[in-house]
Structure 1
């Protein structure tokens, strides 16, 4: 049906090994000053508090119904282990309403970081385009930026 790497058009799954301890990876995911170095503009407004809301901005992608502004809400977290966020497009005309979950697991002397980005509508061509763009972005740009930032701290 769709050219989807893991076979599920509703989800992006990424796992990445980092040669850093879990505490360092957790800091990179949850400290606003560090988030600002590798995530979208506005990530510095993050607070590790369920219910906290903030806004991030990026490049608009009209072909994927993305306005360039994402409203974020912290849904849940387990310190040093898991962070779950809700991402919605700031433009209510766009259909993006996703859940992004990060899981941190020790692996040897390093950390395995898991990302699950879910909620894509397989019947919406713009959502499928968004999934394709974001799948590539998470795997390449974001994980590389995160790794480079952790090398510096």
Structure 2
């Protein structure tokens, strides 16, 4: 990347999970389940719904930007001076679902946020998988 570039970076995590999209979708969209793998929230799967994700260190302010049940969920993810967007994509596979999360919008001077997200999202995925594994 050249000096003075305004290109943003993205963190992408993808996993193949042995569960149907409908089951994983529940973990991504039901507040009590989101709280188990991410943070406390009043999330609702409704276009334009504004919600916060609350943790001991502070809050993330979010707004649902796109929603296609069992396929795509996108919401803004704004905290401190980070303005980013999370997009979840669920793609059926022969053995379950490919779950993909992309967080876009990391500015070149936001290396700490980028590194933090790169380290944390795989942990969130592992937690999602544990939750979905024990769901009915």
Q: What TM-score does the superposition give when structure 1 sets the normalisation length?
A: 0.79
Select the structure that is richer in strand: 2
1:63-102 matched pairs, under 5 angstroms: 68-89=58-79, 94-102=80-88
Q: Structure 1 runs of 4+ off > 3 angstroms?
A: none
CA distance in 1, matches of 2:105, 2:85: 6
CA distance in 2, matches of 1:109, 1:54: 33
1:21-100 matched pairs, under 5 angstroms: 21-42=20-41, 45-60=42-57, 68-89=58-79, 94-100=80-86
- Whether the 8 Å CA contact 1:9–1:128 is kept in 2: the answer is no
Q: Which has the higher contact order (CA 8 A, sep 6+)?
A: 2
- Whether the 8 Å CA contact 1:30–1:47 is kept in 2: the answer is yes
Asked if residue 146 in structure 1 is aligned to residue 136 in structure 2, the reply is no
Shift of 1:121: 0.3
Shift of 1:59: 4.5
Shift of 1:33: 2.1
Of 29-38 and 111-120, the range deviating more from structure 2: 29-38
Asked if residue 131 in structure 1 is aligned to residue 117 in structure 2, the reply is no
Q: Name the SS of the counterpart of 1:151 in structure 2.
A: helix
- Whether the 8 Å CA contact 2:50–2:64 is kept in 1: the answer is yes
Q: Name the SS of the counterpart of 2:111 in structure 1.
A: helix
Cα deviation digits, residues 45-101 of structure 1 (max 9, x gap): 1101111111112253xxxxxxx2111110111111000000111xxxx32110000
Gaps of 5+ in 2: 2-6
CA distance in 2, matches of 1:53, 1:112: 27
Asked if residue 116 in structure 1 is aligned to residue 98 in structure 2, the reply is no
Gaps of 5+ in 1: 2-7, 61-67
Asked if residue 105 in structure 1 is aligned to residue 91 in structure 2, the reply is yes
**RMSD (CA atoms):** 1.5
Q: Name the SS of the counterpart of 1:119 in structure 2.
A: strand
